[in-house]
Amino acid sequence: MTSGLTIGQAAAFAGVTVKTVRHYHRLGLIEEPLRDSLGYRRYGSTDVLRLVQVRTLAEAGVPLAEIDTMLGADPHQFATHLAEVKQQLTDRIQDLVARRDMVDRLAAGNRLLLPDRACALLDRAAHLGFPPDYLAQSRESLVLAKALVPWDFDDFLTQIEHSLDDAQYVALLKRTWEAGAWEPDDPRVADLATAVTDHLLANPELLAIPSSLQGRTDTAVRFGLINDYQARIAPAWNRLTALIEANLRSADIDIRGTRP
């Protein structure tokens, strides 16, 4: 009677597939047994034990590349390796929990992409009477701003808070939203640009640029991308922004590509 187990039997006893056993062979985790007189590889008890050990460590989260070293380690080294694997698993769990929380927040729509402070500003704008379409476009603009100026996004939000505290400016913002439906050459666009410019000149804090952006060579590019996004939605906004910037520059205000 031929002694030893076939690869299929050894795999079944160890709780893995034949494909997995062969994969372990390729990685050098288990030595391939010698062939018998019939040309079959026969697995003994030590081979099955090794298979079980490798499978158990792999299921515990130990990377396959580290298993051979762990099985050859002394008890102290083995414990050290296990502690490292545990920390890696802990980090992965924390990452998964964070991802799960993001999925939960996804139920609130685009708020997944914004911090609570930004969401609170959108809620405040809603209470001030801005229409849903305005809020949706503003939310997307905030997402873009967060990506383009992440280090000063809080300052960006502070500037928005100041603007919402200003009843006259809120009224101008609502008119600006209405202007999105106008033709770019509508004379009301130029009138609105003048009104916005006058208000900005009277309230320069609305034009404040965060200190870390001052002197950056890409500031205009970053804010220009935000402006470009809005201009693509409504051509009239493109002309409005251009007129406001021209008016401010005529007043010797260096706006560096920012928007009102």
Task: Look at residue 111 in the predicted model and tell me its pLDDT.
Answer: 61
Task: Look at residue 215 in the predicted model and tell me its pLDDT.
Answer: 47
Three-state secondary structure call for residue 96: helix
Span 8-32, pLDDT tens digits:
999 999 999 999 999 999 999 999 9
Span 33-57, pLDDT tens digits:
888 888 888 999 999 999 999 999 9
Phi, psi of 113 (to 5 degrees): -95, 0
CA distance 119 to 93: 27
Task: Look at residue 233 in the predicted model and tell me its pLDDT.
Answer: 66
Decide: pTM greater than 0.85.
Answer: no
Whether residue 194 is predicted with pLDDT greater than 90 in this model: the reply is yes
Whether residue 92 is predicted with pLDDT greater than 50 in this model: the reply is yes
- Mean confidence (pLDDT) of the chain: 83
pLDDT band at 175 (very low <50, low <70, confident <90, very high): very high
Mean pLDDT calculated for residue range 107-114: 64
Whether residue 210 is predicted with pLDDT greater than 60 in this model: the reply is no
The residues near 148 (Cβ < 8 Å, ≥ 6 apart) are 222, 223, 225, 226
CA distance 110 to 107: 9
Task: Look at residue 2 in the predicted model and tell me its pLDDT.
Answer: 54
CA distance 218 to 127: 35
